Structure 1
Amino acid sequence: MNKHSLLYIIKLIILVVSVVYTLDKVVYFGLETLNKNVYTGASGGKVNQFLREKDNLDFIVLGSSRANHHVDNIKISKNSFNMGLDGTKIAFSATLLKTLPTNKAQIILLHISPKHSLDSNYKGDDIEGLSKLYHQNNIIKEEYNALGKNKIMNQIFWSLNFNGTVMGLFKNYFFPNYDINTYSGYDPLYITDEQKRIFKTVLENKINEPCLNEPKLNSIYERYLDEISLFCKENNKKLILFTAPIYQDDCKNDDDILGKILKQKNIEYWNMTSFFNENNSLNYWRDNSHLSNTGAEIFTDSLKLKLNQLK
């Protein structure tokens, strides 16, 4: 290959990279503009609504689906939001908690799973649900980087942060499925007779899961627990961790271990896995770890009573 051919190839590569880079930024800023106007749906709209309203809230629920579907926050406070989201864990919730305003009195009810908190394999991957806000929110960017999720290709090609969510964004932009003026984040699970029958069959054939062998608090969970505890103490927040009811809890060992750890850290923890044990009914359940709307309303009433006793 002669000198002129090599120079031509280099110029061509530079041109292609420049065009791709420019197109990526055009696509990214287009998607960013779209995302800023979406306030419904799990693909980003619910987070956007939370970030828009968070500074004025008095009561906030955070956590996974067991927060989202179990706590009717409006029954507890009219000025509240349930930011529970299916599939999320401590990294996602703690990051959003850190975006809350400083020195404003707020009650934070955060769901925590004993099983997940003692899982040595947890790497904080759930924070990737906030990836589209990486270049827009410094707190999210810092947490993303701290977990080592800032992949080099995503740093170069920003539109990659929208992977897997574009269709959801377009759907919720053009066809929002609820009114955000009346939506407070709580998503009850309504069950049918067929679902009750299926759950009953599942229970009859259920095989108990073994307890964890010598469980230890995951290092990422521990870091986030320490950080959000300090954040809340320094910024006039009341932090309460809770574990929602489970129909059949195969292992109480992890509950006890987590409870002892949180007590040592002076973090208030309500373990309510056995809440329905003395008065249980299949009408209260969608599956082994998710309450129906009926069960959630009963559970919420109990939470409200406990919160009122703190005042």
Structure 2
Amino acid sequence: MKKFISQVGIFISITSIVILIMVVTTIAIMKQASFKIDTNKNILILGSCFTEISIDDRIFERSANLSQTGTAYIYSYCKLKKVLEINSHIDTVLVSFQYGELSKSGEDIWIMSSEFMFPKVAFYISLLGKEEFAVYKDKGALFQAILQTPVRNVNAVIKYFRKGNNNYTYKDLRVGSYLRLDRDRLQVEMEIWEKNKDKKRNEEESPLQKRYLQKIANLCNEHNVKLILVNTPVYQSKKYDDNVDKLYEYRNKYLRQADLFDYSNFSLPDSCRGDIAHLNYKGAKIFSEYLQAHFHEDAKACADAKKQFYQYNSKE
């Protein structure tokens, strides 16, 4: 019996050492990825699914889109910090700004739930600092997330060995890019909204989301970078998005150094909507073409008005 227990102990020890080596090695490899962005791209796009699927940086050519579904501001901050360290030509940052992203329920899901914590920690572990690791309440779940790092980043490690250190970039990591959304759920979402419209409740704001959005603003200010909060197109926004006024209030109260570009009322055919709040690839193409042609004009209109916000007017 003692021999069996001893053998089990040895096995557990060896397994633990192997896993530790794999975790450390994976993180070390991920840290080698270059976050250098082409010098012809001076606009960095960050945020969650709203900017991820709405702005195609192949069309909006001056931009680099590092948005990702379910990405809380804590992860956007870590990406921004890394990018600004080595890209002095980045002079503008666009950040997804929807009121739902500021909610406590959003924090509970996007940051604290194991559903999102496990993949996000594994994908962003090379960018997270001590302060970021401290925000997770469930340390057991955090430990599990860290242990999953090698498995969740197998492709990133393989790409490193295929490409070599000099050609290994952020694009080889799973930290965000434009996502082509092929979806047509507008009618379904409208029916769901009608059934649940009387169940709406006032959302408590998220302390963590507020803190890291402010840190993004402070970091932009330190680097003399223009921060623009972007509210992406919403289907019939006056009916289906009653939080637009709250965005203006929030910006005026907490983020007066940032501009707010409100495209919630951007006019598009129904066929361009993935659902109420998201564009599909057809809508992304039209919206990105608009930004390519008119972003400078919108920014100038915002500056000339000296109101620090631009609101797209539509007849939709």
On whether the aligned pair clears a TM of 0.5, the verdict is yes
How far, CA to CA, are the matches of 1:100 and 1:167 in structure 2?
23
Query: Is the CA contact 2:234–2:241 (under 8 Å) kept in the aligned structure 1?
Result: no
Query: Which of 70, 86, 89 is residue 69 of structure 2 equivalent to?
Result: 86
The one-character-per-residue Cα deviations of 1:246-265 (angstroms, maximum 9, x if unpaired) are: 22445543221122111222
State the 1:154 CA deviation.
5.8
Query: Is the CA contact 1:24–1:157 (under 8 Å) kept in the aligned structure 2?
Result: no
The one-character-per-residue Cα deviations of 1:11-31 (angstroms, maximum 9, x if unpaired) are: 667534431222213433564
Aligned to 1:106: 91
More moved, 153-162 vs 246-255: 153-162
Q: Structure 1 residues 67 and 174 mapped into 2: Cα distance closer, same or farther (>3 Å)? A: farther
Query: Is the CA contact 2:122–2:153 (under 8 Å) kept in the aligned structure 1?
Result: no
How far, CA to CA, are the matches of 2:100 and 2:144 in structure 1?
37
How far, CA to CA, are the matches of 1:200 and 1:92 in structure 2?
29
Aligned to 1:27: 22
Query: Which of 15, 27, 31 is residue 10 of structure 2 equivalent to?
Result: 15
More moved, 242-251 vs 61-70: 242-251
1:62 matched to 2:46: yes
How far, CA to CA, are the matches of 1:170 and 1:213 in structure 2?
44
1:132 matched to 2:122: yes
The one-character-per-residue Cα deviations of 1:228-260 (angstroms, maximum 9, x if unpaired) are: 111100112111111211224455432211221
Amino acid at match of 1:202: V
Aligned to 1:185: 177
How many equivalent pairs are there? 278
Aligned to 2:246: 257
1:72 matched to 2:65: no
Q: Structure 1 residues 273 and 119 mapped into 2: Cα distance closer, same or farther (>3 Å)? A: farther
Query: Is the CA contact 2:68–2:177 (under 8 Å) kept in the aligned structure 1?
Result: no
Query: Which of 86, 103, 117 is residue 118 of structure 1 equivalent to?
Result: 103
Per the alignment, in what secondary structure is the counterpart of residue 291 of structure 1?
Answer: coil
Query: Is the CA contact 2:186–2:276 (under 8 Å) kept in the aligned structure 1?
Result: no
Query: Is the CA contact 1:94–1:228 (under 8 Å) kept in the aligned structure 2?
Result: yes
Amino acid at match of 2:52: N
Q: Structure 1 residues 134 and 89 mapped into 2: Cα distance closer, same or farther (>3 Å)? A: closer
Amino acid at match of 1:258: L
How far, CA to CA, are the matches of 1:18 and 1:75 in structure 2?
52
Query: Which of 195, 207, 211 is residue 193 of structure 2 equivalent to?
Result: 207
Structure with max Cα Rg: 1
State the 1:188 CA deviation.
3.0
How far, CA to CA, are the matches of 1:16 and 1:284 in structure 2?
56
Q: Structure 1 residues 60 and 221 mapped into 2: Cα distance closer, same or farther (>3 Å)? A: same
Query: Is the CA contact 2:46–2:96 (under 8 Å) kept in the aligned structure 1?
Result: yes
Identity %: 20
The alignment's TM-score, normalised by the length of structure 1, stands at 0.70
Per the alignment, in what secondary structure is the counterpart of residue 46 of structure 2?
Answer: strand
Query: Is the CA contact 2:94–2:227 (under 8 Å) kept in the aligned structure 1?
Result: yes
Amino acid at match of 1:71: I
Q: Structure 1 residues 20 and 90 mapped into 2: Cα distance closer, same or farther (>3 Å)? A: same
The one-character-per-residue Cα deviations of 1:108-155 (angstroms, maximum 9, x if unpaired) are: 111122123134462324565442366644xx1335313126835865
Amino acid at match of 1:293: Y
Q: Structure 1 residues 261 and 158 mapped into 2: Cα distance closer, same or farther (>3 Å)? A: closer
Q: Structure 1 residues 108 and 255 mapped into 2: Cα distance closer, same or farther (>3 Å)? A: same
Query: 5+ unaligned residues in a row in structure 1: which ranges?
Result: 38-47
Q: Structure 1 residues 65 and 171 mapped into 2: Cα distance closer, same or farther (>3 Å)? A: farther
Query: Is the CA contact 2:186–2:273 (under 8 Å) kept in the aligned structure 1?
Result: no
Per the alignment, in what secondary structure is the counterpart of residue 287 of structure 1?
Answer: coil
Q: Structure 1 residues 169 and 188 mapped into 2: Cα distance closer, same or farther (>3 Å)? A: same
1:271 matched to 2:262: yes
How far, CA to CA, are the matches of 1:65 and 1:156 in structure 2?
25
The alignment's TM-score, normalised by the length of structure 2, stands at 0.69
Query: Which of 52, 68, 78 is residue 35 of structure 2 equivalent to?
Result: 52
Query: Is the CA contact 2:118–2:145 (under 8 Å) kept in the aligned structure 1?
Result: no
Q: Structure 1 residues 70 and 235 mapped into 2: Cα distance closer, same or farther (>3 Å)? A: same
